Structure 1
Amino acid sequence: MAEPIDSALDLLRRLNPKDVKQNVDNIINLNPSLEEELLESVDIPLSVKRCSSTKRDFLCCDYNRDGDSWRSPWSNNFEPPIDEGITPSERIRKMEIKANEAFDVYRELYFEGGISSVYLWDMDDGFAGCVLLKKCTSETAVNGGSWDSIHVFDAQDRARTAHYKLTSTVILSLGTESEALGGLDLSGNMVRQVEQDMAVEDDGSHVANIGKMVEDMELKMRNLLQEVYFGKAKDVVGDLRSIPPLSVTNRDRQTQREMISSMSR
């Protein structure tokens, strides 16, 4: 007999990814004992809270959560306040401040809006952290889209270098609904992972290295979404109903195959 957590994860894979947050909440209501495991295992769209000290918005995930409170990267305080929340050491907190400043610039350059948050925490042989980015085009669920990036990494210190392991998740949701066009819903997520050794001179080098890895990974994942997934959807629509006659399209494809075949010979 399958474990409850395995059954819950299998169920979530079969449901609409656009409703993953609501589905997770429903499963937790049915079986509260699964809350911790589900929140650690399932990527859900990032929620937003306001830092009462700095009046700036920040993103919430399992990595800055302590019970029912979330730590702000801007003030290092929890919202709502708690007595003994877990915070990073002084050295890691200084890096966290620099990383938030750097990714705030990155967010403005690539997203022209949205919200970014970076959280770091101590580990025995280095440190770990996550970079969160969120951009929504509309407040309505039926007309608009959202992009959520969750980049989780760990950095292991070595002599003059560091070994980085990055796991990136992009949650994309696109939807539109009108009387003329009807309804359209494209939602899903993509996960990629990479490991790399990079030179380190000081703590500032860690921020630059992580920034470069996140930038490269987001570019690759965006291109995959555009060229592979949306490109494939375009090909399927083209096969169902092409703009020129299908006979012309098939003739062009045959000519192309013959040219490639003759060149290979």
Structure 2
Amino acid sequence: MSEVDQFDSALDLLRRLNPRETSKHLDSLISLVPSLTEDLLSSVDQPLTIARCRKTGRDYLLCDYNRDGDSYRSPWSGEFETPLGGSGPGGVDDQGNNEGAGEGAVPSERVRKMEIRANEAFDVYRELYYEGGVSSVYFWNLDDGFAGVVLLKKEVAPPSGKSQGSWDSIHVFEAVDRARTAHYKLTSTVILSLATGNDNLGEMDLSGNMTRQIESDLPVEDDTSHIANIGKLVEDMELKMRNLLQEVYFGKAKDVVGDLRSLGPLTEANREKATHQEMINSMKR
């Protein structure tokens, strides 16, 4: 089997497995076919992982866009480091010093300044909209502009331990500079996982992902305008995707579950149905 066939088969397999365990399945595929590591990591969206910046002490998110080998670049310090527990370069020695941090690609000075402002802006956005969670923004240079990714993650685990949920949103964009405007292309992916269980209903798992794309031309006066434009695009996209999830996916799931199972006794449901039919018949007379 050729490498192309192996890659297509791996993607096809991942689409048929539980999306809640995408990271586990991805690791298994990589261990089976190590030659597909880079292609799979760059093509498959998986739940984001949280690490802590050793220089600033702030949490940040790991993804393929800030990775260089086993090292990841912190958006707060701008430096590469290996997360605690990692096996690659960038560990911490006995004196607490950062050993062998990665030397991956970093944005230019201008783009890095925009990256810093974007992280500050989306940190406020995260607190207002998510009331917790972690956010990270990474920029990199393009020949005719710049590109970046906005990451947001929120996890919920009630004290009972029987319910848990997570929301991961990944917004990848390109910004191409034009005369007094910029052309933006945004690709957004939301990974949602909800699991609950009780004695009456048993266990239920709602997990999946959704991807949407938009393109837009917006006015630009200076680099600050880019941050405002990107923020508006991401905010609007998240609102649309959240409403779509709520109205279509959860609404349909509720209808299906309601038709399959009822918490009330069958005799009560039959009595209500009979009463309803009797009212309809009386109206026809």
TM above 0.5, one fold? Answer: yes
> Which runs of structure 2 are paired with 1:178-257 in the superposition (5 Å)?
178-240=198-260, 244-245=272-273, 248=276
Q: Given residue 174 of structure 1, which amino acid in structure 2 is its aligned partner?
A: L
Q: Given residue 65 of structure 2, which amino acid in structure 1 is its aligned partner?
A: Y
Tell me if the contact between 2:66 and 2:73 (Cα under 8 Å) persists in the aligned partners: yes
Q: CA deviation at 1:7?
A: 0.4
Aligned to 2:128: 109
For 2:217 and 2:196, locate their aligned partners in 1 and report how far apart those are by CA, in whole Å.
Answer: 43
Match of 1:36 among 24, 35, 38: 38
Q: CA deviation at 1:215?
A: 0.2
Q: CA deviation at 1:84?
A: 2.2
Of stretches 194-203 and 75-84 in structure 1, the one that deviates more from structure 2 is 75-84
Q: Deviations over 1:194-220 (max 9, x none)?
A: 000000000000000000000000000
For 2:44 and 2:173, locate their aligned partners in 1 and report how far apart those are by CA, in whole Å.
Answer: 17
For 2:217 and 2:274, locate their aligned partners in 1 and report how far apart those are by CA, in whole Å.
Answer: 51
Q: CA deviation at 1:106?
A: 0.2
Tell me if the contact between 2:144 and 2:176 (Cα under 8 Å) persists in the aligned partners: yes
Q: Deviations over 1:136-186 (max 9, x none)?
A: 001898521000000000000000000000000000000013334311110
Q: CA deviation at 1:83?
A: 4.9
SS at the partner of 1:130? strand
Q: CA deviation at 1:247?
A: 8.4
How high is the TM-score relative to the length of structure 2? 0.83
2:106 is the counterpart of 1:87:
yes
Q: CA deviation at 1:79?
A: 1.5
Aligned to 1:68: 70
2:149 is the counterpart of 1:122:
no
Q: Given residue 56 of structure 2, which amino acid in structure 1 is its aligned partner?
A: T
CA 1:136–1:17 in structure 2 vs 1: closer, same or farther (change >3 Å)?
same
Q: Given residue 73 of structure 2, which amino acid in structure 1 is its aligned partner?
A: R
2:47 is the counterpart of 1:19:
no
Aligned to 2:154: 135
Structure 1: gaps (5+ residues): 256-265
SS at the partner of 1:220? helix
For 1:169 and 1:154, locate their aligned partners in 2 and report how far apart those are by CA, in whole Å.
Answer: 15
Structure with higher Rg: it is 2
For 1:39 and 1:5, locate their aligned partners in 2 and report how far apart those are by CA, in whole Å.
Answer: 11
Aligned to 1:100: 119
2:189 is the counterpart of 1:169:
yes
CA RMSD of aligned residues (A): 2.1
Moved over 4 A (4+): 139-142, 240-244
